[in-house]
Structure 1
Amino acid sequence: MAAYYIREIKREDFDEAVQLYITVFSSEPWNDILTVNQVEQYFNQLYKMNTFLGYLLIESETERIIGTCLGYEAFWFKGSYFFIDSFYISNQYQGKKLGQFFMNSLEAAIKKKEIPTINLRTGKDYPAAHFYKQQDFSELSTYTYFTKEL
């Protein structure tokens, strides 16, 4: 059985992580139409933040990236929290408990940084919502998410 580990993302990891992002989010259920340039801009914008935190799930034997978490530490009157902007696993590794392993490892890494909370948003009807509930995330009924097209 293959072994896996997580580590913080480095700038030189972007090409592989961008390709994985495009592969995952171009597939069901998202079916996004993405370009390398768009996704590179997204990665670079997050990476430029002085509070950026990103992690990779790596398959030990091949050193391939099979999962990515991009986010940042944010500060609020109740203290800091880690906001997950993207969390994804390679399609061929989904359903094998690696998302759970990645999340557990991520939680340990965030806890070591003395960040007490993880926040994220996802579509209510996506499998990701079910995954996060299985990982003991709580759906907040006191907040709602708004958007406005301009």
Structure 2
Amino acid sequence: MTELTASMLPEAAQLFTRVFNNEPWNDSWTQEQSLERLTDIFNTPHYAGAAHFENGKMIGLIMGRGEVYFDAMHFQVIEFCVDTEMQGRGIGRKMLADFSKLLKDKGVAYIHLITMRDARTEGFYAKNGFSTDEGMCHMTAKL
């Protein structure tokens, strides 16, 4: 796992677009939108991100931001994906474990994220130590 730097953002955007335009999300990201989103995350205060490469090709990324809370430093994973063709091989599990250790070493006490309600997505995070926070709810409003 390698720190995800600004020079890697175009390749990260290609990966992001491929993954999230496929199952189970079926989004409609353009390359330009993906690059803008990942650049925005990269420029966020307390940013941290990492990429996983195989044979010189980026096949996984994880990005987010630290958040100062009254009790401890928290970290919000904003984007995390593994190339669709490489999923199911333990890459995501290893990336999440390595990234969690890196964050813990930096003083982060909690990681949180928002994901789609789907057996694949929720199941993955549940197997990796995450649980649904019954005391919170995610709300949206269309403007």
* TM superposition score category, shorter chain reference: over 0.9
Unaligned runs of 5+ in 2: none
Match of 1:26 in 2: 21
More displaced stretch, 117-126 vs 27-36: 117-126
Alignment counterpart, residue 119 of structure 1, candidates 105, 112, 117? 112
CA contact (8 A) 1:29 1:126 kept: no
Aligned pairs for 1:30-109 (under 5 A) are 30-59=25-54, 62-109=55-102
Cα deviation code 1:2-35 (max 9, x no counterpart): xxxx121111101111000000011111111111
Match of 1:130 in 2: 123
Displacement of 1:63 after TM fit?
Answer: 2.3
Task: Specify the code of the residue in structure 2 equivalent to 1:145.
Answer: H
Runs of 4+ in 1 over 4 A off after TM superposition: none
Cα deviation code 1:56-86 (max 9, x no counterpart): 1122xx1221100010001112211111001
Distance 1:142 1:8 in 2: 33
Q: Does 1:141 align with 2:134?
A: yes
Displacement of 1:125 after TM fit?
Answer: 2.1
Q: What is the TM-score when the length of structure 1 is the normalising length?
A: 0.91
Task: Specify the code of the residue in structure 1 equivalent to 2:36.
Answer: Q
Q: What is the TM-score when the length of structure 2 is the normalising length?
A: 0.95
Aligned residue pair count: 143
Q: Evaluate the alpha carbon distance shift between residue 131 and residue 99 of structure 1 in structure 2; reply closer, same or farther with a 3 A threshold.
A: same
Task: Specify the code of the residue in structure 2 equivalent to 1:18.
Answer: A
Secondary structure, counterpart of 2:109 in structure 1: coil
Alignment counterpart, residue 14 of structure 1, candidates 9, 22, 32? 9
CA contact (8 A) 1:21 1:88 kept: yes
Distance 1:58 1:108 in 2: 19
CA contact (8 A) 1:68 1:88 kept: yes
Distance 1:117 1:8 in 2: 20
Percent sequence identity over aligned pairs: 26
